[in-house]
Structure 1
Amino acid sequence: MQPLELARMDELNRCYEIIEAGKRFQREQGFVQWTDDYPNVDTIRDDIERKNGYVVKFGDKIAAYMCIDFEGEPAYDHIRGGWHTIKPYAVVHRMAFDASFRGTGLTKCVFLLIEDLCRSRGVKSIRVDTDFSNGRMQHILEKNGFLKCGTIVFQGEGRLAYDKAVAG
């Protein structure tokens, strides 16, 4: 596995294929966090243009796509509960994996890479939100040291909010 890389515009279609596969996987798991029209290809294009779109590769194959935003998330300013960490923070949105890498332990490695990226930028915390029905992501977050903080409203929907302090 290689370090996180900024996604390139020539990788847009592959990144979006991974997002679409993530949508299908959610439905197979019995919930819908990502709708038919979100995230869409324009969302991913915007991530890449803003230099917030990241990929993880094995060789030349993209194994995962995610948005990592260091500008904060306005929805996180209003939380029912309380954050355990302070600003500045990185926000992780739209994390999805190529189906052939699911169940391989890659998620843990990806979160470690995100922590490395945060340390390199002097950012001491990571925040994430997920749907109430996305038990799989809740389990992944808790298994990777994230703490439940409360609820926020993101794009008109209530979401569970998590954070994690980045050590060192």
Structure 2
Amino acid sequence: MYTLELAQLTDLTICYEIIKEGRNFQKEQGFEQWTETYPNRDTVLNDIQSKKGYVIKANNEIAGYMCIDFSGEPAYADIKGKWRSDTQYAVIHRMAFRKKYRGTGLADIVFKMVEDLCIKNNIRNIRVDTDFPNTRMQHILKKNGFINCGVIVFQGGKKLAFDKLL
């Protein structure tokens, strides 16, 4: 059984460990989207303190971490391209899974849980960005109904911008 829950301060260490595992996984794939300075431990702490950090649990074990921000993303205001809707949206940032859960289809399950959370909060629009070399995430996004809307600049670099209308 899988659940999506707000992360607690007691989850900070494991959440940041998952981010570090994700950073290493990116390097193994030959690119660096996440650096040593972003996302860092303080980024995750801020997510948790502002009630934007979420853990994905598999049978009560933390299997992943992500930020779901219902207040938007300022960097998304300037897009080379066009978002498909101007309605309020949720942003997904910093999605990462523990190594043993990669390749299990957990990302698909998580996207469905995020959609359900958005609908429960009367949000019908989800946005996300990823680096150009992160073809694995691009594949997962497209498989889950996200559409490439253009390019944004986030954390100093150009990113592919995707949205999904619910």
Pair in the same fold by TM > 0.5: yes
- Structure 2: 5+ residue runs without aligned partners? none
Alignment of 1:1-168 (within 5 A): 1-166=1-166
Contact 2:3 2:58 in 1 (8 A): no
- Structure 1: 5+ residue runs without aligned partners? none
Structure 1 length-normalised TM: 0.97
Q: Distance in 1 between matches of 2:135 and 2:21?
A: 18
What letter is aligned with 1:136?
Answer: R
Q: Distance in 2 between matches of 1:60 and 1:9?
A: 17
Q: Distance in 2 between matches of 1:98 and 1:11?
A: 14
SS at 1:132 equivalent? coil
Structure 2 length-normalised TM: 0.98
Task: Tell me the alpha carbon deviations over residues 68-91 of structure 1, each in whole angstroms, 9 at most, x when there is no partner.
Answer: 000000010000000112320000
1:108 Cα shift? 0.3
Give the aligned CA root-mean-square deviation in angstroms.
0.7
What letter is aligned with 1:148?
Answer: N
Task: Tell me the alpha carbon deviations over residues 104-156 of structure 1, each in whole angstroms, 9 at most, x when there is no partner.
Answer: 00000000000000000000010000001111111110111000000001111
Q: What count of residue pairs does the alignment treat as equivalent?
A: 166
Q: Distance in 2 between matches of 1:108 and 1:60?
A: 18
1:36 Cα shift? 1.3
1:60 Cα shift? 2.5
Contact 1:85 1:164 in 2 (8 A): no
SS at 1:21 equivalent? helix
Contact 2:90 2:118 in 1 (8 A): yes
Task: Tell me the alpha carbon deviations over residues 1-24 of structure 1, each in whole angstroms, 9 at most, x when there is no partner.
Answer: 233100000000000000000000
1:98 Cα shift? 0.6
What letter is aligned with 2:68?
Answer: I
In the TM superposition, structure 1's runs of 4+ consecutive aligned residues that sit over 4 Å from their partners are none
SS at 1:96 equivalent? strand
